[in-house]
Amino acid sequence: MGPVVKRSLVCFALVLAVSLGMSAATAAKERGKGKKAHVASTMVLNAVGVDGASGQISSAARACRAERRLTFYRVNSEAGIPSGEPVAIVWTGADGSWTVAAPLYSSDFFAVADTKRARGVVCEPATSNTLRVD
Comparing CA positions, the residue from 105, 31, 95, 99 lying closest to residue 63 is 95
102 and 57 co-located in one domain: yes
- CATH number, domain with residue 118: 2.60.40.10
21, 75: one domain: no
Averaged over 66-87, what is the pLDDT? 84
Residues 75, 114: one domain? yes
Q: What is the pLDDT of residues 40-64, one digit of tens each?
A: 999 999 999 988 999 999 999 999 9
Beta bridge partner(s), residue 37: 121
Question: What total number of domains does the chain contain?
Answer: 2
Same domain for 27 and 63? no
> Do 88 and 76 sit in the same domain of this protein?
yes
Read off the pLDDT band of 1 (50, 70, 90): low
Domain that holds residue 17: 1-35
As a whole number of angstroms, the distance between CA 73 and CA 85 comes to 6
**Same domain for 52 and 17:** no
pLDDT at 65 over 90: yes
Task: In whole angstroms, give the CA distance from residue 57 to residue 113.
Answer: 8
70 & 80 share domain: yes
Residues constituting the chain? 134
CB within 8 A of 112, min separation 6: which ones? 70, 71, 73, 125, 126, 127, 128
* pLDDT for res 32: 52
Decide if pLDDT at 103 tops 80: yes
Tell whether 7 and 29 lie within a shared domain.
yes
